[in-house]
Structure 1
Amino acid sequence: MLGFAAMIAGSFTAGALVVDEIGPIALNAIRFLLGAMLMGLMAFAVARQPMRLPPAPWRFGVLGLLMAIYFCSMFIALQFTAPVATSAVFTLIPLMAAGLGLLILGQRTGPIGLLSLLFAGLGSVWVIFRGDLDALRAFDIGKGEVIYFAGCVCYAIYTPLLRKFSRGEPAVLASFFTLSATTLWIAAYGFPEILATDWTALPPLVWWVIAYLAVFPTAMSFFFVQFASLHLPAAKVIAYGYLTPIFVILLEGLFGHGWVSLPVVAGALVTVLGLVVLALAPERAARPSPAT
């Protein structure tokens, strides 16, 4: 999941390079299409999985819908609010995942785990607002935050449902069907924008960014989450997202966009400490939950 956080962070830096060249829904549609094709190649050509629909394929339709809502809500919200505000809303996901993991799977997060989630979340908020208390106090809950919060609820539901819906399929096969369903939902939502995009006129940089997004933050990150959700509680899986702002800071510094102040570094260390405590905290047994 450390790799997951790093790849997601890279998508912010890469996406900023082409934000004026292609619409966000069209960009997500093509990245998920290519990601699904790559995962299909891995599942059927490399892993030699049988090419047939799995039992109860509606499971992947539900998972794909949750992911499509999350990604679409993110870009819709950015039309009304700043990225820093949506990042702050994102920090609520691990706590929501802990509650939904209890409700859906019976996964119990002990007091130490909950405290470490809060601790890591506070550090992440401090990093997001770059240690500026005035910026934190100026945070206003508006239309964009409400829209993105709805998407974050879908993301929080998605992780425990991965284990709930699992029928023993290999992670690579489950990732292929989930990515495929996400692609169909996004394409259905953004069909006019996709149709209006002049794909042949896109500069080479856009295609390089699309290739990166399709391989790393899409195909590989979906596989990592699918795999981790079968071995870790939902709250722990999502909590690694707290590291995303830290990786963004590192990438921005390495790309020559400037380094952050020491107070922000201190907040990053608080987040890391909270996640270390969470990783070492004992897991509570979940009640048996047969696949449906």
Structure 2
Amino acid sequence: MKNLRYHFLSLLVTLLVAGSFLSSAKLSGVINPFSLTLLRFAIAALVLLPFVLLKNKNRKAISKALPRSLVMSLFFSIFFICMFEALKTTTALNIGTLYTLVPFMTAVFSLFVFKEKITKNMFFIYLLGIAGTCLVIFRGDLNALFAFSLNSGDALFLLGCVSMVCFSISMKLLYRGDKMIVVVFCTLLGGAFWMLLALFVFEQPLQWHLLNKNLLSHMAYLALFATLASTFIIQKTTVILGPARVMAYIYLSPVFVALLTMLIEEKTLPNATYAGMFLSIAATIILQLHNREVKSSPKPISIIALKSKKTL
């Protein structure tokens, strides 16, 4: 498989994002979420800034990449805003369950944008992945599963999931062969801008002075690994593999969270959780194999060829 390394990178970014859930839990309630995300974007952008400015080509490319990156970062920022606002009226358990709809939603959007078809087998695989994730999240407790119900916060987070899908689609659609380091920098810069705007609109304070040394280490992880490294990897893998294949790895996110919780916090997991992890892994592998077959089959019109003729 010639794109094997990009699949490993997709696994890595899923692991990094899973770790961010643990760090975010430590920071939750200490600093308001808009300011927290602004700081994440700002630190990551500042770290990347010297490498971008080092070459004249990169500096010149910023003006071309920034408008498109503002669009991509808008979708990314809307996702965070919806998530933070949704948590006021819903639970992290509900959000974790709803987030597993993103791969299926990405496939639906890709159907219209990239003409990637959804077969009956693929639909079944998506359901299998959702079922596996539910077993992990609900720890095999059927009463907790049946008690799951939608509220206004859930509906708002569903909008955020749509925005995350649009972020993934836009990365593929708006890419014009720019240097990836420039695209990532502009995306981070755009994210910081939108979060600064959100702080102003919602009249939230920065509260950065509330972060102590221990919390700063968690913030460093969020900024450098869960934001900078993850954004770079997601941008690169989405361009190469496509949104549907990259988003399919979301099913592994609860698996990594469960494993990290077991290793770091030394907690035991119910047997039903392992069954759910197996289903999630199986669904991810099958989806990747199926999407590879679809991608390798001949198409009458190349979407990449059509995109290369477009200009901003």
What TM bracket, shorter-length normalisation?
A: over 0.9
Write the distance in 1 (CA, Å) between the matches of 2:107 and 2:164: 12
Alpha-carbon distance change, 107 to 200 in structure 1, aligned in 2, over 3 angstroms: same
Q: State the match for 1:62 in structure 2.
A: 71
Deviation (angstroms), 1:190: 1.3
Identify which range, 202-211 or 192-201, moves more after superposition.
192-201
Amino acid at match of 1:221: S
Mapped contact 2:65–2:186 kept (Cα < 8 A): no
Mapped contact 1:31–1:213 kept (Cα < 8 A): yes
Give % identity: 28
Structure 2 residue 294 is matched with structure 1 residue 283 = yes
Structure richer in helix, relative to its length: 2
Q: State the match for 2:224 in structure 1.
A: 215
Deviation (angstroms), 1:122: 1.6
Alpha-carbon distance change, 49 to 266 in structure 1, aligned in 2, over 3 angstroms: farther
Write the distance in 2 (CA, Å) between the matches of 1:54 and 1:109: 38
Mapped contact 1:26–1:193 kept (Cα < 8 A): no
Mapped contact 1:130–1:264 kept (Cα < 8 A): yes
Amino acid at match of 2:13: F
Q: TM-score, structure 1 length as denominator?
A: 0.92
Mapped contact 2:24–2:218 kept (Cα < 8 A): yes
> Within 5 A, what are the aligned runs for 1:113-124?
113-124=122-133
Structure 2 residue 37 is matched with structure 1 residue 28 = yes
Q: State the match for 1:50 in structure 2.
A: 58
Alpha-carbon distance change, 38 to 194 in structure 1, aligned in 2, over 3 angstroms: farther
Mapped contact 1:187–1:194 kept (Cα < 8 A): no
Amino acid at match of 1:29: L
Identify which range, 143-152 or 183-192, moves more after superposition.
183-192
> Within 5 A, what are the aligned runs for 1:119-130?
119-130=128-139
- 1:228 pairs with one of 225, 237, 251: 237
- 1:102 pairs with one of 111, 114, 118: 111
Aligned length: 291
> Within 5 A, what are the aligned runs for 1:228-247?
228-247=237-256
Q: Gapped runs of 5+ residues in structure 2?
A: 1-9
Write the distance in 1 (CA, Å) between the matches of 2:164 and 2:274: 28
Write the distance in 2 (CA, Å) between the matches of 1:135 and 1:267: 15
> Within 5 A, what are the aligned runs for 1:1-292?
1-45=10-54, 49-52=57-60, 53-55=62-64, 57-191=66-200, 196-281=205-290, 282-284=293-295, 285=299, 287-288=302-303, 289-290=306-307, 291-292=310-311
Root mean square deviation of aligned Cα? 2.0
Mapped contact 1:15–1:209 kept (Cα < 8 A): yes
Amino acid at match of 2:48: M
Identify which range, 14-23 or 1-10, moves more after superposition.
14-23
Alpha-carbon distance change, 61 to 273 in structure 1, aligned in 2, over 3 angstroms: same
Write the distance in 2 (CA, Å) between the matches of 1:105 and 1:163: 10
1:245-268 alpha-carbon deviations (Å, 9 max, x no partner): 111111111122512111111111
Alpha-carbon distance change, 44 to 101 in structure 1, aligned in 2, over 3 angstroms: farther
Deviation (angstroms), 1:16: 1.3
Deviation (angstroms), 1:100: 0.8
Write the distance in 2 (CA, Å) between the matches of 1:5 and 1:32: 19
Write the distance in 2 (CA, Å) between the matches of 1:11 and 1:113: 29
Deviation (angstroms), 1:184: 0.3
Alpha-carbon distance change, 240 to 42 in structure 1, aligned in 2, over 3 angstroms: farther
User: Residue 119 of structure 1: SS of its match in structure 2?
Assistant: helix
Q: Gapped runs of 5+ residues in structure 1?
A: none
Identify which range, 170-179 or 145-154, moves more after superposition.
170-179
Amino acid at match of 1:67: F
Identify which range, 278-287 or 167-176, moves more after superposition.
278-287
